[in-house]
Amino acid sequence: MQQSELDFIQSLRQSSHYIEQHRGKTCVIYLPGDLLQNDEELLSLSKDITLLHSLGLKLVLAMGATLQIDQALEQKQLSWQQHEQCRITSLEMLPTFQQTIGYVRSKLEAVFCHASNQQHKPLSLVSGNWVIAQPKGVVNGVDFQHTGQLRKINKEAIKSCLNSNQIVLLTPLAYSLTGEVFNLNTLEQACTIAEQLQADKLMIFQKPQRFDYLPAALNQTQISTLLPSLDEQTQQLLQRIQKIGDSVSRVHLINRDDPSSLLLELFTRDGTGCMIFSDRYHQIRPASIDDVGGILEVIAPLEQKGVLVKRSRERLELEIENFIVIERDQRIIGCAALYANYANSGELACLAVHSDYRGQELGEQLLQEIEKTANQNGLQQLFLLTTHTHHWFIEHGFSLATPNELPQEKQELYNYQRNSKVLIKALKK
Ligand SMILES: CC(C)(COP(=O)(O)OP(=O)(O)OC[C@H]1O[C@@H](n2cnc3c(N)ncnc32)[C@H](O)[C@@H]1OP(=O)(O)O)[C@@H](O)C(=O)NCCC(=O)NCCS
């Protein structure tokens, strides 16, 4: 078999459980106008979105058109004003908005026809007057005129389209109950729609500078810690996402210069952008016999390097009740064990985090979990033996000790040739 075929099979295997995970899930995708400008990129993006649809995702597209509107207004020599980074939409500009947005929408509809041609079932992209707007109003004395904000949405109509296998398309235009037309900020609209539909995912195409300095995954609490160090626009984006709270399980920031980042983010384990999660993205839990294979994958490379003492599969199976694991997307990425059978001491062993996931404080979380269990078991101290990692443990409250300070049974087993460092930590009451 050729390498390319092996790679293909490997990728298919890796993505298969994501396919299963995403089926039936509601996903809102924010498409900024710049992304829709280049015909070739637009076709490739629409093919990817069509693929997501055929894999069973329920899709809502929130289409932006800022770039196209800027160009149309410039062409007509219509100048515009901004206040608080938001465009003021005058009555005079409104027909240009309607024409331009209509044009972009028709371009999208056409390209989706082309993309769905390759599927065995035709695909419909539908839009409607489901978003009810109200004027943004007069803010600090400035009248935003036909710039509006979302007042409410017709959730039932949108859900019924999604349930009948259609892709929902929202444009920046929305209507008030008095029949007026308003221009909405599409990113804001995408966030609110995702929140109100309680979507499983919100995918936001953004300039890579907006998330280059962010970790691959962060939760709502971490956003607050990071905010002061970020530039104003990234701060605003993250604050907007914070407002969604836990109504949307995962918000993904993906690279708008590379439309294929949509598939990479959804179907590869670590994605390519930044994910903000409100669900428990990874969980720490007691290990079960089914986790033995996953634990072995994490510890085997460390055993080979001599960092951890070798454990056979049989021994691991027998001692599995002592283990806890960290699981992310159904994969074991870390483990630790507590042997609580030494009078008032417990041994911490086999603390390991998969090399791809180090430096995210997962090791610290595992240690905290072990300390919690040790406390619950009434233990007064933890001890461990290590050849390579004593500094890490000292930084986490352990002190160097001598083999003589180990519980008697452990002293008898101490391997003087391996010459491991002994570390002890008194547990808080
Ligand atoms: C030790 C280990 C569990 C830490 O996991 P982790 O999730 O990366 O830990 P954290 O994110 O909480 O801490 C990362 C910090 O520890 C530091 N660190 C990692 N290994 C270290 C070591 N051997 N000595 C000193 N510091 C170390 C990292 O450099 C990083 O420091 P920084 O934040 O200043 O950059 C992980 O490095 C590992 O699996 N090591 C191999 C197995 C091992 O040695 N286990 C202990 C024997 S029981």
Mean pLDDT, residues 331-335 taken together: 94
Out of 277, 299, 319, a domain closes at 277
pLDDT digits (tens, 9 = 90+) for 357-413: 898 889 999 999 999 999 999 999 999 999 999 999 999 999 999 999 999 999 999
How does the average pLDDT of the chain come out, rounded? 92
User: Is the pLDDT confidence value at 119 over 80?
Assistant: no
Pairing of strands 217-219, 381-386: unpaired
The per-residue pLDDT for 9 is 85
Q: Whose C-alpha lies nearest to ligand 1, atom 42?
A: 352
Q: Ligand 1 centroid to 384 CA: how many Å?
A: 15
Q: Same structural domain for residues 163 and 54?
A: yes
Q: Same structural domain for residues 329 and 374?
A: yes
Q: Whose C-alpha lies nearest to ligand 1, atom 44?
A: 389
Q: Ligand 1, residue 365: give the atom nearest the CA.
A: 12
Quick one: what percent of the chain has pLDDT higher than 90?
Answer: 73
Q: Ligand 1 centroid to 315 CA: how many Å?
A: 25
Q: Same structural domain for residues 130 and 230?
A: yes
Mean pLDDT, residues 284-291 taken together: 95
Mean pLDDT, residues 408-426 taken together: 94
The per-residue pLDDT for 379 is 96
Q: Same structural domain for residues 383 and 416?
A: yes
The per-residue pLDDT for 278 is 78
The per-residue pLDDT for 60 is 98
The per-residue pLDDT for 279 is 67
Q: Same structural domain for residues 259 and 289?
A: no
Ligand 1 pocket at CB < 6 A: 302, 307, 349-353, 358-364, 384, 386, 388-389, 391-392
Q: Ligand 1 centroid to 100 CA: how many Å?
A: 54
Tell the burial category of 116 from Cβ atoms under 10 Å away from its Cβ (0-12, 13-18, 19+).
buried
Q: Same structural domain for residues 184 and 264?
A: yes
Nearest to 62 by CA among 96, 36, 32, 103: 32
Q: Same structural domain for residues 133 and 272?
A: yes
Out of 259, 277, 295, a domain closes at 277
Out of 237, 261, 277, a domain closes at 277
- Domain at 313, CATH number: 3.40.630.30
Q: Ligand 1, residue 336: give the atom nearest the CA.
A: 48
- Domain at 23, CATH number: 3.40.1160.10
Q: Same structural domain for residues 234 and 86?
A: yes
Residue 340's contacts (CB-CB under 8 Å, 6 or more residues apart) are: 322, 346, 373, 374, 377, 379
Q: Ligand 1 centroid to 398 CA: how many Å?
A: 14
User: Is the pLDDT confidence value at 92 over 90?
Assistant: yes
Q: Ligand 1 centroid to 284 CA: how many Å?
A: 17
Q: Same structural domain for residues 249 and 309?
A: no
Q: Whose C-alpha lies nearest to ligand 1, atom 35?
A: 359
The per-residue pLDDT for 211 is 86
Q: Ligand 1, residue 385: give the atom nearest the CA.
A: 48
Q: Whose C-alpha lies nearest to ligand 1, atom 8?
A: 358
The per-residue pLDDT for 326 is 95
pLDDT digits (tens, 9 = 90+) for 62-75: 999 999 999 999 99
pLDDT digits (tens, 9 = 90+) for 127-183: 999 999 999 999 999 999 999 999 999 999 999 999 999 999 999 999 999 999 999
- One-letter-per-residue 3-state SS of the chain: CCHHHHHHHHHHHHHHHHHHHHCCCEEEEEECHHHHCCHHHHHHHHHHHHHHHHCCCEEEEEECCHHHHHHHHHHCCCCCCEECCEECECCCCHHHHHHHHHHHHHHHHHHHHHHHCCCCCCCCEECCCCEEEEECCEECCEECECEEEEEEECHHHHHHHHHCCCEEEECCEEECCCCCEEECCHHHHHHHHHHHHCCCEEEEEECHHHCCCCCCEEEHHHHHHHHHHCCHHHHHHHHHHHHHHHHCCEEEEEECCCCCHHHHHHHCCCCCCEEEECCCCEEEEECCHHHHHHHHHHHHHHHHCCCCCCCCHHHHHHCHHHEEEEEECCEEEEEEEEEEEECCEEEEEEEEECHHHCCCCHHHHHHHHHHHHHHHCCCCEEEEEECCCHHHHHHCCCEEECHHHCCHHHHHHCCCCCCCEEEEEECCC
Range of the domain at 247: 3-277
Q: Same structural domain for residues 131 and 272?
A: yes
Q: Ligand 1, residue 354: give the atom nearest the CA.
A: 39
Q: Ligand 1, residue 362: give the atom nearest the CA.
A: 7
Q: Same structural domain for residues 266 and 312?
A: no
Q: Ligand 1 centroid to 102 CA: how many Å?
A: 55
Quick one: what percent of the chain has pLDDT higher than 70?
Answer: 99
The per-residue pLDDT for 281 is 66
Q: How many domains, in total, are found in the chain?
A: 2
Q: Same structural domain for residues 132 and 13?
A: yes
pLDDT digits (tens, 9 = 90+) for 9-57: 878 877 887 898 899 999 999 999 999 999 999 999 999 999 999 999 9
User: Is the pLDDT confidence value at 220 over 80?
Assistant: no
The per-residue pLDDT for 419 is 94
pLDDT band at 350 (very low <50, low <70, confident <90, very high): very high
